[in-house]
Amino acid sequence: MYICFFDIDGTLIDVPSGLYRPSDETINAIKAFRAKGNYAVIASGRGRLPGSMADIEFDGFVGSDGNCIEFGGVEFVNNKFSYSDVLTQIEIYDEFNAQFTFNAANIAWTNALGGELLEWHASQFGGDWRKNRPVKEIKEPKEIHASSAIAVFPELKYMKKCVEKLPDNWTKRESIGLHDVYAHIDVYPTNATKGSGCLYLLEKLNIKPGNAFAIGDALNDVEMFNLIPNSIAMGNASDYVKKHAKYTTGNVLENGVVKALERFFGTGG
C-alpha cells in the first residue's frame, strides 16, 4: 500500500491557464491509484479544496501548509490564529494598504469585499473567491477563527515591509505579480510546512516514508520533496524546485500527474 501527496495549484489545476479543474485523465488516474488500495491525499497551501474539485474523492487533506490535517473525515490538526494574532495582522495590513482575508475551511472574513487587489488574486488562484463558502466583512475580529490569511499589496515594497513586522514564528509565503505590481503573502499561525504535515500523517497512519510519493511544482513543495523519498516535480516547476525532487514528470497542461502515476503504478488516465 502506498500514499501519494498531491499539490493543487500548478499540479492538478492551473487557474491562470484556464485549467480550473483536473483533466478527466487526471481524475481517472487518481481513481485507479486509489482502487489499488492506495491513499491519495491533498497537500496544499490552500485551506480547502476549490469548489471545482469538491466532487473528487481524496482520502485526506494536508492544508494551509501543514496547519490543517484531516484523514478519512477525522481532523488531526487545525492550528488557528488567536484573537491577538488577528488584531496584530489587521493593524499591520492596514498600515501597508493591503486588502486581506482570514480563511477557515467553510468561511472567510475580509476587509475589502469586491476589492481590486483581492479580485486580482482570485484571477490567479480560483476565479470568484466568494463562491462555495460565505465571505463576511470584518466587523468584529473576535469572531474570526482562521487557519490562514492572505494579504494583497499594491506594491512589492509594502509587502516586504509587512513581512518584516509579522512574528517570526509564523509561516509567511511571498508571491509577486508581473513587473512587481501587486504582491501577496499567505500567512499561517505556526512554522509547520507541507513536509512536516505529510510526515505527521505518515506517522499517524503507520506508513513508512519509503511507501510515500509527493507531486508538486512550487517553492512550498521543496521541504515536502526533501522529506518524502519519492518526490516528483511537475515539468512546469522551476529549476530550483526540480533540483530538490528525485523525479520529474510532464507539466500540468500535459497531464503530468497522469504520467507520473502511470510510470510508478500503471494507472494511466
User: Domains in the chain and their CATH numbers?
Assistant: 3-78+192-265 (3.40.50.1000), 83-188 (3.30.1240.10)
Distance in angstroms (rounded) separating the CA atoms of residues 11 and 237: 9
Q: What is the mean pLDDT of residues 222-240?
A: 96
More confidently predicted of 114 and 55: 55
Q: What is the mean pLDDT of residues 87-105?
A: 94
Report the share of the chain in percent with pLDDT over 90: 75
Confidence bin at 132 (pLDDT 50/70/90): low
Distance in angstroms (rounded) separating the CA atoms of residues 64 and 80: 10
Q: Write out the three cell numbers for 265.
A: 503504478
The helix or strand, by DSSP H or E, that contains position 233, with its residue range, turns out to be strand 230-233
Confidence bin at 179 (pLDDT 50/70/90): very low
Tell me what pLDDT residue 21 has.
94
Q: CA torsion, points 175, 179, 180, 185, in degrees to nearest 10? A: -20
Q: What is the mean pLDDT of residues 183-205?
A: 94
Q: CA torsion, points 108, 156, 253, 128, in degrees to nearest 10? A: 30
Burial of 162 (0-12, 13-18, 19+ CB in 10 A): buried
Which parts of the chain fold into alpha helices (H)?
A: 24-35, 83-95, 116-125, 156-165, 194-205, 222-227, 239-243, 256-265
Q: Is the pLDDT of residue 91 over 50?
A: yes
pTM, rounded to two decimals = 0.88
Tell me what pLDDT residue 237 has.
96
